[in-house]
Amino acid sequence: MIDVYTWEPNANSGKPLLGLREKNLAFTHHYVDMGKREHHAPDYLKINPGGTIPTVIDNGYKMTESTPFLEYMDDAHDGPSLVPSDPYEAWRMRWWCRYLDRDICPALAMVASNALAAPMLAGQTAEQRKEALDRIPLPERRRTWELLYANATPKSEIEESQRRISACIALMEETLSKQPYLAGASYSLAEIVALITMYGWPLRDDVGEAATPHLWLWFKRCLSRPAYKATFDKANAFMGGRAKDARAKLGLAE
């Protein structure tokens, strides 16, 4: 019995949704609406006092870190193996997971939330902001939301994030020119961590058949997987739509 408390198939909140489907494991998705900030509301804080999503409960055992959960899922359950058996390939998989989680996903989140969320939040009153910030348990998260509310992320920081995203695209292209998947010969947890954040990348101007041919083929291979489609078919209109547009641009059948 696996219960997943999370939002949409997007970034950390999406990792267990895609991971569990790749592993062919049944689960119940308890929807936590991040748009309504339900992850900072009392009901959810009873489940995870840290106020982060996802939370996964497997047979009574609670986990709140998304990439460590993927390791657990692969380790504890039968199903297709998603961690390479070769020690060096397993290290490479973890290297990618760590690099994406630590360096790239925050850069993408900074760029996206400043472009999308900050203008929307700007309309709120000071009291509304204070009330919302006071509900965020972890100090580092509170700081991020404070910057967003104030629309105060320095421009140089956003440019640095964009530089990192470009460097990541180049590194993926180089890696995938030598091997079909990030860790080596087979699809692994590194793909799950990458794709759940990058599913819209085929729509980017700097990703394409001509500019990044090996990355393009990797997207084709990965986004045609049944688990991927099943995950995004259940997504909300915005994310599901982007995933659909990305598949169409790759020339994949619906």
Nearest CA to 99 out of 144, 188, 165 is that of 165
From 95, 177, 206, 238, residue interacting with other proteins (rule: CB under 8 A): 95
Query: How far, in Å, are 60, 146, 207, 222 from residue 219 at the CA level?
Result: 36, 35, 10, 5
Smaller CB separation from other proteins, 142 or 204? 142
15 makes contact with other proteins (CB under 8 A): no
Total residues interacting with other proteins, rule: CB under 8 A: 36
Distance in Å, CB of 175 to other proteins, minimum: 15
Nearer to other proteins, 68 or 80 (CB): 68
- Compute the least distance from the CB of residue 229 to other proteins, in Å: 28
Site string for other proteins, 42-71 (x = CB under 8 A): ----------------x--x-x-x-xxx-x
Listing from the earlier edge strand, what are the strands of the sheet with 2-6?
A: 28-31, 2-6, 55-58, 61-63
Alpha-helical runs (H) found in 63-154:
66-76, 87-99, 105-121, 126-134, 139-149
Stretch in the footprint of other proteins (CB under 8 A) among 95-103, 120-128, 232-240, 242-250 = 95-103
Strand partners, 6: 31
Which pair of structure tokens corresponds to residue 98?
Answer: 């760590």
237: its two tokens? 């209109």
CB nearer other proteins, residue 36 or residue 77:
77
Identify the three-state secondary structure at position 94. helix
Residues contributing to the site for other proteins (CB under 8 A): 58, 61, 63, 65, 67-69, 71-72, 75-76, 87-88, 90-91, 94-95, 98, 101-103, 106-107, 109-110, 138-141, 143-144, 157, 160-161, 163-164
